[in-house]
């Protein structure tokens, strides 16, 4: 058993006996012969456990306990109390002592109590460390942005995270909606519980409902066993419903009921199931238009938008672009084991004026590709945006043809981008759709639907790679 212990007593013989005993158990042991000495040795992280006598001359065991709690809230304290002083021992427990051992004690008793308390203390520390890692991974540190719009979003997340209200995250594709959902959950008191994600796009009503609420055996053809839904899986935690605008109308009614009454039934079941779930929803659709058209329930709309976080397209916060590039470059270099390369001035200018229809996701994939494919010591505008799509940052103009409408041009660019993006993801995953979707942060269903829309097959994408050509 590992762990660092501080033994505190003004009886020298007892201190030495305890030290010998605990060392034999494998702990690292330090000693103090007075409360004052103990206090001078307690520092954040210095000990996992303090074993102290309650009655010391001068600074008492209770003082040591209070001091330890202030300096290092994670440290555990065991009180050694004189025979018959149970009342004070209980008092010490109320003030945060983990346990007490009445004198006289035998060695076995000490061993058992110390082991038990140490185990808990170490577990708690591990848990804290994990939590911190998770928070670093999903806190604001992951969401990069210095524009006023993003600063505003950070302070909003901070305000609503622990309020347990429903949050609706809106914004065009690739603007970071899922990152916002992560940040809200991992900054909320529910952070130690599950964050369950579900995409409502491209699923039939039957499937959405069975995913959401689970189903009973035989609820429909193919329902061979009972299955738990996302709502149950998220109990105590957070449910993230992506593309909520695509949810079938009938399902919306059931979702509303589950939210309002905190209760639902599995598909094909009639037993109400109670849950405590916080909902975060995201969409890039015009829900208001859906309400007007009758495809989105107005009551659900108001229930969802208690708090609305709206992410602007990247072209409306261009001042974030240099910071994002920097961050994606460092990150990619680390992941791919390359040295980070700087952008040429021209490349940076081109990036600043480019429209980025795929928003931050497109920027990120452009930076990663550029780092992988560039041959020089710097990343050029060609590396970043492909040849001839820029000229001092402007798309070259052809005058011999009537110009496409804005909508046509944008559509074409988006499609071209999506095609390149999907094919690239497929190539990297060796044609495995599930892994490709996961790597780029898309749900498999949406990824497959996009492939169908664009007429991409995994084979094609792979063949393109072998011949070294790009369709
Ligand atoms: N502000 C940001 N800082 C760092 N990375 C970002 C930021 N915004 C988005 N990204 C990155 O861009 C990609 C897309 O982000 P995310 O999946 O959150 O977008 P989304 O809005 O949910 O898109 P979609 O509507 O397509 O689902 C991710 O790789 C994410 O890490
Ligand atoms: Mg998303």
Give the model confidence (pLDDT) of 419-462 as tens digits: 888 998 998 888 899 999 988 888 888 888 888 888 888 887 87
Distance 259 CA to ligand 1 centre (A): 27
Q: Given this model, what pLDDT does residue 390 score?
A: 45
Q: Which atom of ligand 1 is nearest to the CA of 242?
A: 27
Buried/exposed code over 171-208 (b: 16+ C-beta within 10 A; e: otherwise): bbebbbbbbbbbbbbbbbebbebbbbbbbbbbbeebbb
Cα–chain center distance at 353: 31
Q: What is the mean pLDDT of residues 57-83?
A: 91
Task: Check whether 466 has a pLDDT greater than 50.
Answer: no
Q: Given this model, what pLDDT does residue 139 score?
A: 61
Q: 332: how many CB neighbours lie within 10 A of its CB?
A: 19
Q: Given this model, what pLDDT does residue 391 score?
A: 45
Percentage of the chain exceeding pLDDT 90: 60
Let me know if 17 is exposed, middle or buried by CB neighbors in 10 A (0-12, 13-18, 19+): middle
Distances (CA, A) of 323 to 146, 178, 319: 8, 20, 8
Q: Given this model, what pLDDT does residue 136 score?
A: 66
To the nearest 10 degrees (0 to 180), the angle between helices 359-373 and 321-336 is 50
DSSP state, residue 378: S
Half-sphere exposure of 108 (CA within 13 A, CB side): 0
Task: Check whether 209 has a pLDDT greater than 90.
Answer: yes
Task: Check whether 70 has a pLDDT greater than 60.
Answer: yes
Pocket flag, ligand 1, residue 359 (CB < 6 Å): no
Q: Given this model, what pLDDT does residue 255 score?
A: 95
Q: Which atom of ligand 1 is nearest to the CA of 320?
A: 1
DSSP state, residue 103: S
Pocket flag, ligand 1, residue 170 (CB < 6 Å): no
314 and 356 in contact (C-beta within 8 Å)? yes
Q: Which atom of ligand 1 is nearest to the CA of 171?
A: 21
Q: Given this model, what pLDDT does residue 277 score?
A: 95
Q: Given this model, what pLDDT does residue 445 score?
A: 83
Distance 439 CA to ligand 2 centre (A): 13
Q: Given this model, what pLDDT does residue 393 score?
A: 43
Q: What is the mean pLDDT of residues 85-96?
A: 88
Banded model confidence at residue 339, pLDDT cuts 50, 70, 90: confident
182 and 195 in contact (C-beta within 8 Å)? yes
Task: Check whether 181 has a pLDDT greater than 70.
Answer: yes
Where do we find the tokens 């007892």? 14
Q: 375: how many CB neighbours lie within 10 A of its CB?
A: 6
Q: Given this model, what pLDDT does residue 241 score?
A: 96
Q: Given this model, what pLDDT does residue 465 score?
A: 44
Task: Give the largest Cα separation in the chain, rounded.
Answer: 101
Banded model confidence at residue 350, pLDDT cuts 50, 70, 90: very high
Q: Given this model, what pLDDT does residue 9 score?
A: 95
Q: What is the mean pLDDT of residues 198-208?
A: 87
Q: Which atom of ligand 1 is nearest to the CA of 440?
A: 29
Distance 105 CA to ligand 1 centre (A): 60
Helix (H) or strand (E) holding 110: helix 107-138
Distance 295 CA to ligand 1 centre (A): 27
Q: Given this model, what pLDDT does residue 142 score?
A: 84
Q: Given this model, what pLDDT does residue 373 score?
A: 86
Q: How far apart are CA 291 and CA 255, in angstroms?
A: 16
Task: Check whether 197 has a pLDDT greater than 50.
Answer: yes
Q: What is the mean pLDDT of residues 41-52?
A: 93
The whole-model pTM stands at 0.63
Q: Given this model, what pLDDT does residue 31 score?
A: 96
Q: Given this model, what pLDDT does residue 418 score?
A: 86
Q: Given this model, what pLDDT does residue 281 score?
A: 97
Banded model confidence at residue 401, pLDDT cuts 50, 70, 90: low
Who wins on pLDDT, 248 or 393?
A: 248
Q: What is the mean pLDDT of residues 179-183?
A: 95
């Amino acid at each position: 058993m590992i762990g660092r212990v501080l033994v505190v007593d003004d009886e020298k013989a007892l201190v030495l006996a305890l030290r010998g005993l605990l060392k034999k158990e494998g702990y690292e042991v330090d000693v103090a012969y007075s409360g004052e000495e103990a206090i001078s040795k307690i520092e954040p992280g210095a000990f996992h456990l303090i074993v102290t006598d309650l009655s010391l001359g001068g600074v008492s065991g209770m003082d040591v306990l209070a001091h330890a709690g202030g300096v290092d809230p994670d440290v555990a304290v065991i009180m050694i109390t004189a025979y018959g002083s149970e009342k004070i021992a209980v008092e010490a427990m109320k003030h945060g002592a983990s346990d007490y051992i009445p004198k006289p004690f035998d060695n076995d008793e000490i061993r058992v109590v110390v082991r038990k308390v140490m185990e808990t203390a170490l577990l708690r520390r591990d848990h804290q460390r994990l939590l911190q890692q998770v928070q670093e991974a999903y806190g604001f540190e992951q969401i990069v942005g210095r524009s006023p719009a993003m600063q505003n979003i950070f302070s909003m997340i901070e305000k609503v995270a622990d309020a347990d209200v429903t949050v609706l995250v809106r914004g065009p594709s690739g603007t970071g909606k899922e990152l916002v959902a992560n940040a809200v959950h991992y900054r909320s008191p529910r952070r130690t519980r599950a964050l369950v994600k579900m995409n409502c796009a491209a699923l039939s009503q039957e499937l959405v409902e069975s995913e959401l609420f689970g189903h009973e055996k035989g609820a429909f053809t193919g329902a061979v066993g009972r299955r738990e839904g996302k709502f149950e899986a998220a109990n105590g935690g957070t449910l993230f419903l992506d593309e909520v605008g695509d949810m079938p109308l009938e399902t919306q009614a059931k979702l509303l009921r589950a939210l309002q009454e905190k209760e639902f039934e599995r598909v094909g079941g009639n037993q109400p199931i109670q849950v405590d779930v916080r909902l975060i929803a995201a969409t890039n659709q015009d829900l208001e238009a859906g309400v007007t058209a009758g495809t989105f329930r107005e009551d659900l709309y108001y229930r969802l938008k208690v708090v609305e976080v709206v992410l602007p397209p990247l072209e409306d916060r261009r001042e974030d672009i240099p910071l994002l590039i920097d961050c994606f470059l460092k990150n990619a270099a680390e992941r791919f084991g390359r040295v980070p390369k700087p952008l040429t001035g021209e490349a940076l200018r081109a990036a600043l004026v480019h429209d980025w229809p795929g928003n931050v996701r497109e920027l990120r994939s452009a930076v990663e590709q550029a780092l992988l494919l560039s041959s020089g010591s710097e990343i050029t505008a060609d590396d970043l945006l492909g040849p001839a799509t820029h000229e001092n940052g402007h798309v070259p103009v052809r005058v011999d043809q009537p110009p496409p409408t804005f909508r046509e041009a944008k559509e074409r660019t988006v499609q071209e981008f999506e095609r390149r993006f999907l094919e690239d993801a497929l190539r990297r995953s060796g044609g495995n759709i599930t892994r490709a979707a996961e790597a780029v942060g898309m749900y498999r269903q949406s990824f497959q639907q996009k492939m169908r829309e664009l007429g991409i097959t995994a084979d094609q994408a792979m063949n393109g790679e072998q011949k070294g050509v790009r369709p």
